[in-house]
Chain A
């Protein structure tokens, strides 16, 4: 069965610093991988997704993630944090034959200090 582990329930960075949110997955078959962001009292917004094309995926708001099969990782990065990036971030996995069923990690809350 597939699973997702996000390292660090809370990450704090200074404005302008590098953002690195870690995600490792476990899957018996090649997965599809996703990063979502959730702002307070809102639903989930898709940042980016990996579906077996390019291993470096660029998303919205300057975020990107790299799929590394050998490390079973899909870490999310952004070169320079902005105050508006403060939110909760979720990594998720799905299998091509499982349709819309997403398995989520526990989430990482990102704080951005001025």
Chain B
């Protein structure tokens, strides 16, 4: 089975722009979670989606949003980018809601 796919792998944006990251879960998995990884704050939970519904949300400002499509693919969007949004964004998929997921390789976002 193919693993979790995240696109793009690398992204460079400037302050004030917005960005959309994509995550394709393992086939048959219906739950997708997103995490932000930075050297200063470490790994932090962003949100979890199951069957197109947000089930859980971390402590991030409203500039961070996400959605899940009927095929379980998920996108996250960050609007009005700030320098501090530079991070590795990781997606994890799992077969059911609430289970620990399999992580993708991440998208490295750099904000200039």
Interface residues of A (CB under 8 A from B): 32, 34, 36, 41-46, 49, 90, 92, 94, 96, 98-107
The interface centre, meaning the residue of B42, B90, B94, B105 with most chain A CB atoms within 10 A of its CB, is B42
Interface residues of B (CB under 8 A from A): 4, 31, 33, 35, 42-45, 48, 50, 55-56, 58, 90, 92, 94, 97-106
How many residue pairs, one in A and one in B, have C-beta atoms under 8 Å apart? Answer: 63
Q: Residues of B contacting A100 with CB < 8 Å?
A: 31, 33, 48, 55-56, 92, 94, 97-101
Contact B103 A45 (CB under 8 A): yes
Q: If the complex has contacts A43-B106, A45-B103, A100-B31, are A107 and B94 also in contact, measured as CB distance less than 8 A?
A: no
Distance between Cα atoms of A46 and B93 in the complex (Å) = 13
Q: Residues of A contacting B50 with CB < 8 Å?
A: 99
Distance between Cα atoms of A100 and B34 in the complex (Å) = 10
